[in-house]
Amino acid sequence: MAMTDKEKKAYVNKHLTDIYPQLVENMQKTCGAGYEKWGDDLLPTAIEFFLNKPLDVQYESCVSGKCENFITFIAAFQLKSSTTKFWHVWRKHKNSHRELIPDSYMYDETKYKDDSDDDFMLCIKQQMKDLDPFEKMLVEERVIKGMRFVDLEERYDIPYSALAKELKKVLKKIKERCQHLR
């Protein structure tokens, strides 16, 4: 007796649930050092592409044990190519602006202890106060809170290209005004 579409869908969902921990590990290996930046977005994108395949293709890959490899292959392709949906929706935006404080992701307390660095941080805070509301919102939500351009675009109905361009100008302006303290 052949399975119904509902039964096939339930089987696919159960199989995805079972292999999910291994898929997370595969994403860590696929992304390497970039996992912290975009790994959490890559897996849902790859699963979305898999689930957009016809139900029979999904079912057959799960039954044959190829589902994990198929999703990992999709993820690797999405990550490596600059023409994919993943690149344009997530990765491009995370790489499109420079840090205000170079290497701040590798924070070392001893590096920022002397007075000149304290003056630099005070300068940055002062410049934040002098920004217009739009610029201040951009720096606070994108740089400080770490929101994605895609989320900002949805929230404020402003194209991401305009947001990225304006953020780049604001960060450059702050950096130039505080550069004498470095």
pLDDT averages per 10-residue partition of the chain, 182 residues: 88 94 90 78 87 93 92 86 70 56 47 52 78 85 81 84 86 82 62
pLDDT at position 95 is: 58
Taking the C-alpha atoms of 63, 66, 67 and 71 in order, what is their torsion angle to the nearest 10 degrees?
Answer: -170
- pLDDT of 140 reads 83
Distance of alpha carbon 31 from alpha carbon 20, whole angstroms: 16
104-181 has which CATH code? Answer: 1.10.10
Mark out the alpha helices in 32-66 (DSSP H runs): 35-51, 55-63
Whole-number pLDDT of residue 56: 93
Q: CA–CA separation, 110 vs 25, rounded Å?
A: 34
Distance CA 174, CA 137 (A): 14
Conformation bin of residue 157: beta by default, left when phi > 0, alpha when psi is -120 to 50: left
Distance CA 37, CA 6 (A): 36
Contact call for residues 41 and 24 (beta carbons, < 8 A): no
Angle at 70 between CA 52 and CA 86, to 5 degrees: 60
Q: How many CB atoms lie within 10 A of CB 34?
A: 14
Q: What is the pLDDT of residue 106?
A: 46
* Domain spans of the chain, in order of start: 5-94, 104-181
